[in-house]
Chain A
């Protein structure tokens, strides 16, 4: 039996995983990163538009701070988020941008003086301050009250991933490329690492670690139409689920991005609309102001996507052989702006649509984009039920996005969570709990169990084809668990997925070599993916309300009285065909921002019985502390500073908020 020992095993080589590993390494611990692909090819690179951090450098960002970012994020989440975690996040995001600046990310910078921008379809002159010249610039994004999204042209994720990837190399962190974790090693209480398959040779190895972190990104590929790259299959979440004791949080909370291109589903960044691009219908009519007079194209993504689908249903979609769609018009931004700030957009239009977006409109329709749910953890990133198992980034649900994530908050979360969880993992390792004491029999049993499963696939007599099951699952999800959901559709999806799950236990392979065998990989992954899809569909079926991206036509109101709850899905019995759902209530009395209207979207919701009381208490506390300044107000409402690692506490400097020297 081949065994590899390390302090920290990080599963996933995107931004979150790499930053976790760097954090642990800087505290003096060894870390190994497992990655399906060379880490710089991870989905993090696809984050084009930018990263939210309240630096308030640009004129349109003046007055921005952690408080505004916090409110935007909680409203965006439709009050599903853990508000303390949101506070930790918004306070760390500026530090993350500044760290990345020091590591070499070529952030686009503010140039003092006048510049022409497009706001609400009109050309406007903005004057940038001399005091901001050369500092990191921000652009506008959906669901935000200030220009807060820091960016590198429209290659933000790429630039961040390369800087962090190269920093990991500088720290000497080994990345075991083309390896895949098949199962976690655990004894029901403590996680000891993972059984890992080499995707080139097929060899299995037991990786034994004092702490294990899942940072495998989202599960977009359980849908047919998604912006996600082909490796975002939810496998990390499935590893946790298959332990039988680690819950996944809010898997029914799935974001659909308004502007995926037709038919490939490739993302057109929100920066297109942030920079002034418009949505138009078959008649060329700009329709978003009809629905959302306040935020128009820049309401939150769940709202814009629903309005688009609604508009198509009313017969206003443009027709094409790939189905109906709407138009994204960025021609008004001008060629210079597009070739400078939206160049990846231009390349994608050129190569995949054969159009020039400076002259022609882009055919778009909402596509699956983001998995708000994931491995349920506490604010340190650790799962409460399996000690030593952590999660970070899109794979995790610690839960800063609730039922809808704001644009620019995910790539920000990757590095922020990496910074925070990396420190807590180091703390864990340095604590008595971090000691490792594992009988080799546990390793051998875990490895042999996985060997056995692979042998059944490679040598067995199953008759089902893995590709077919995968395609049927993806079609089922896209048809029935999309933007508009109903009980009947969701039940149909659950029934079909259960059937597929049973069939997936009888897969037979046409290609029986071990080693680089893509059919084998599809086979063992699809068995996991169908379970993830079931968590999404069953969670959605059971949640009889509408919140954020989860919209039930048969229950269109947000219902705080019954559903201010986080869904927890576990898979208790390996032979079950459904997850077990439990619920965790969110405590209104501990909220800094009690539930209310988001400022866009549906105004009609059912209050939680505690909300009026908490709202009155908050108003009173605000009034009492208001003279002491915004930090005192915040501390009176919901203290969070003590939750952060010591090295990440403290205020952030801005041009208009100097720190004492």
Chain B
């Protein structure tokens, strides 16, 4: 397979074409909080499954053909922007990259809990994330000196850059917050998304905040000590971020800083 010019014909990339298609039933939670007469309820939409169908495709077909008022959020439809977090058969995940072939014929869709509901499947994760960023100051704090942009950039160990990127891959989709026991009980809990960001900036030598500074931000019950280690966050993270390790690491660090 590795010869440069010619190579054996490839294995099929797509599943077989002519399998009979199932009828799917989408049970979608409907509610418009701005409408005083709206009562939360499930609507059921029936749709014939198509090859390679994702929830992105299915919901758009439902909106085009069955109910033009159905509200939901997609942007990238490629699993990289974090817009389409929703609860699919009881589990938070990214709808755009969920294939219907991996689900039973009865599919329930609900908005992510813990966030303000806009309508139907659309929730205001952006507002929550901005609040979290302001509270935790999720940016590099560099003691105010301006960098001379004409000069060579500061060096960084290649390994360390990779480790920072590993934590920087968070897309703020909110699935970890929706899956978090503490976040459901404690409105101001910053969630795994927030704790992961603190771990990311603590790792970054460009950020001059020290452990005491971070303790001020997360050394309390709304921060790392609020976590009950149920670790739903770790299980549902669509980017497979090492949240379990980061929370444990941060807790140890913060205990030390707090002593």
Contacts and interface: CB of A to CB of B under 8 A. Distances in A.
B98 to A, nearest CB: 8
Contacts of A286: 4-7
Contacts of B129: 38, 40
Given A106-B165, A109-B157, A352-B97, A45 B13 contact: no
Contacts of B134: 169
B139 to A, nearest CB: 4
Given A152-B165, A200-B118, A102 B172 contact: no
Contacts of A318: 10
Contacts of B149: 94-95, 98-99
Contact of B140 (A94, A102, A332, A362): A102
A539 to B, nearest CB: 28
B142 A102 contact: yes
Contacts of B122: 516
Contacts of B54: 352
A177 interface: yes
A188 interface: no
A659 B149 CA distance: 12
A112 to B, nearest CB: 9
A348 interface: yes
B217 interface: no
A653 B118 contact: no
Contact of A134 (B51, B77, B83, B158): B158
B241 to A, nearest CB: 12
A581 interface: no
A43 B165 contact: no
Interface string A141-181: 00000000000110100110011001101100001011000
Contact of B77 (A55, A98, A175, A266): A266
Interface stretch (B20-28, B66-74, B228-236): B66-74
B80 interface: yes
Question: Main SS of chain B's interface residues?
Answer: loop
Interface string B147-176: 101111111111001101100110110000
A163 B107 CA distance: 37
From A108, A134, A650, A651, name the one whose CB has the most chain B CB atoms within 10 angstroms: A134
B82 A104 contact: no
Given A104-B206, A264-B77, A320-B14, A134 B156 contact: yes
Given A38-B125, A95-B150, A361 B13 contact: yes
A546 B61 CA distance: 38
A47 to B, nearest CB: 10
B55 to A, nearest CB: 12
Given A320-B14, A516-B32, A169 B1 contact: no
B210 interface: no
A418 B97 CA distance: 32
Contacts of A518: 63, 68-71
Interface in A482-512: 509-511
B80 A134 contact: no
Interface in B56-115: 63-64, 67-71, 73-83, 97, 99
B133 to A, nearest CB: 5
A582 interface: no
Contacts of B156: 106-107, 109, 134
Interface in B113-128: 118-119, 122, 124-127
Interface string B184-211: 0000000000000000010010110000
A284 B7 contact: yes
B7 to A, nearest CB: 4
- Interface size grouping (class) on chain A: 35 or more
B73 to A, nearest CB: 7
Contacts of A170: 137, 139
A142 to B, nearest CB: 18
B52 interface: yes
Contact of A166 (B7, B63, B133, B206): B133
Contacts of B39: none
B150 A651 contact: yes
Interface in B21-60: 32, 34-35, 51-52, 54
B169 A177 contact: no
Contact of A45 (B81, B125, B127, B206): B81
Contacts of A361: 10-11, 13
A91 to B, nearest CB: 10
Nearest to A287: B5
Interface stretch (A275-283, A298-306, A383-391, A610-618): A275-283
Contacts of B127: 177
B168 A263 contact: no
Contact of B4 (A109, A159, A278): A278
Nearest to A48: B80
Given A120-B4, A170-B139, A519 B69 contact: yes
B252 interface: no
B147 A99 contact: yes
B6 A283 contact: yes
Contacts of A513: 32, 35, 69
Contact of A285 (B6, B68, B204): B6
Contacts of A152: 165, 168
B79 A351 contact: yes
Contacts of B3: 121
A321 B51 contact: yes
A175 B130 contact: yes
A348 B162 CA distance: 21
The 9 tightest CB contacts between A and B, nearest first, are A38-B126, A134-B155, A121-B4, A511-B69, A519-B68, A95-B149, A104-B140, A284-B7, A351-B97
30 contacts: A37-B73, A38-B83, A38-B125, A40-B82, A41-B76, A41-B82, A41-B83, A43-B75, A104-B139, A106-B156, A108-B162, A108-B165, A122-B4, A134-B155, A200-B34, A229-B81, A230-B74, A230-B77, A278-B4, A286-B5, A321-B51, A332-B1, A348-B79, A355-B13, A361-B11, A513-B35, A516-B119, A516-B122, A653-B152, A654-B152
Interface of B: 1-11, 13-15, 17, 32, 34-35, 51-52, 54, 63-64, 67-71, 73-83, 97, 99, 118-119, 122, 124-127, 129-130, 133-134, 137-140, 142, 147, 149-158, 161-162, 164-165, 168-169, 171-172, 201, 204, 206-207
Given A137-B158, A230-B75, 9 more contacts: A45-B80, A55-B153, A95-B149, A135-B155, A230-B76, A286-B7, A329-B10, A363-B14, A518-B70
